[in-house]
Chain A
Amino acid sequence: MKKFKGLVKNAFKLGLAYRAHFFVSLIGVPLALIIYYYLWGSIFSYSGQSVLNGYTFLELITYYALSMVVGMLTYVDVDAWMGNDIKSGVVVSDFLRPISYIWNLFYVTCGFRSLAFIIEVIPTILIAIFFIKVPVPSILYFVFFLISLIFAFLLNYFLTFCVGLTAFWFKEIYGLRKIKTAIKAFLEGGLIPLTFFPLSFQVVFKFLPFQYMRFVPINFYLQKYTLMEAWPLFLIQLIWIGVFYLIAVFVYKKAFKKFAGAGV
């Protein structure tokens, strides 16, 4: 626990050094909400329907606000750090730490996310409340939301760590990360709710890890699942976490051997 606290505190300080960025991302929140508000306002009024693919106008704007909140809380960019560390060889110093690489980076990420909670998420929620009458879920569904949010974070972390590990082989993974970001944004439901896809696509998405990182937590908040549907969703989230954790550990061992073998 002490180790955890120290690493989190360090990340907190690091993050504060980049406060200009946090400031900009904060300006981005009302800007994005304004864009979605007008865009969907015009689409809804043009369609003449009050519900489109399962969402009312208010729910849809809330969806986008929640998408930002979930995105901020589950944001992981360890693959970028790993890419730099591995390319420059700094990663060697991480091998020497008394804490494994995967958990070291995990704690640092937790630190950044707790900072993000204070300086990004809370203001975002306030801005959203200021703009629209945000619907509030029942306590049970709010708890569901929190649980699936934590799972989403873990899943995102291990998946991103796996992407970062490819740097041991590819050296420069900027392009690969870019592809990952684009695929994720699209298939997680970050840009449009997945219910706007044809049904056959939606079935396929159930078997991919992506929707469990954003779409599912958001829809728990919006109470779009029945109680019967809830448990399998948690279970699938856990399974994906397990899968990516195992891949991460296994590939890391391989990478470590390869790296050590190269004469370092």
Chain B
Amino acid sequence: MPNTLNDRVAIVTGAGRGIGRGVALMMAQEGASVVVNDLGGAVDGSGSSATAADEVVAEIVAGGGTAVANHESVTSMEGGEDIVRTAIDSFGKLDIVVTPAGILRDRMVFNMTEDEWDDVIAVHLKGTFTVVKHAAILFRQQRSGRIITFSSESGLFGNSGQANYAAAKSGIAGFTKVVARDLGRYGVTANSIAPRASTRMIATVPDTARQMRRQREESRAAESDPASELDPQEIAPFVCYLASDFASNVNGQIFLVYGSNITLLTQPRRTRTIFKDGRWTLEELNELVPKNITQGLPNPSPPLPSRQ
């Protein structure tokens, strides 16, 4: 059995299925004691069941590893605190927090309901904060810790029909960059993964939606269906690397991970600039912006003729 995470204690949210499950299994294989958190809800966030987390715990224990289940929702502060307390109560400490828990409620923005917005923001964005905040209290005191959040190409590059999910996932990237700066001085690192994998969440995006995007020739995150045939377990090795002592100075970064590919994403930067010593007039901007800033910028969703 490999041992890159020997004696470590890890929390993995949404670990009952998909990417979270793959991370929990591999962390246990690498020697970590794992809190397998999963509410056991449906893909749209409804319902709950203890089964999903319990099955992963059983699988880890059967393989000779150490794990305990937690069935709290990440959406409340109490849930986040309880998940962290489960690690302390069961294993006496906490070293690693991984937060892939998520749901999907796709809809075009003009049809999106308040519930569809609120639910997705609650699970992804607040659900990352509730666990990370309580872990950060411990990490600061012990002057060590690893935080690995989950962002998405949908937010980083943009994807039609996912205003809620894109806001949440891009928000997690911003959150992670701030947390890296809040906690880095205490020897803690915080990084984020944008994964591509075929999971039950991706399966909820209807094929018709993919076809529509293609027909409209919208530019999108990937050229083809990015997640088809990609094993969610392939995300785990790089997550384990970030959680290990090897990555002690990797902080505040976003990585795209799919199949056997690991890609570092650029930090934001200015690509084209105009400058004036003073306030611009509209006449000046009319003249200079098209030539220097917006020239050749592709419209990711160009106007279509209206159907008769």
Query: Do chains A and B interact in one complex?
Result: no
Question: Footprint of B on A, CB under 8 Å?
Answer: none
* Residues of B that sit less than 8 Å from A by CB: none
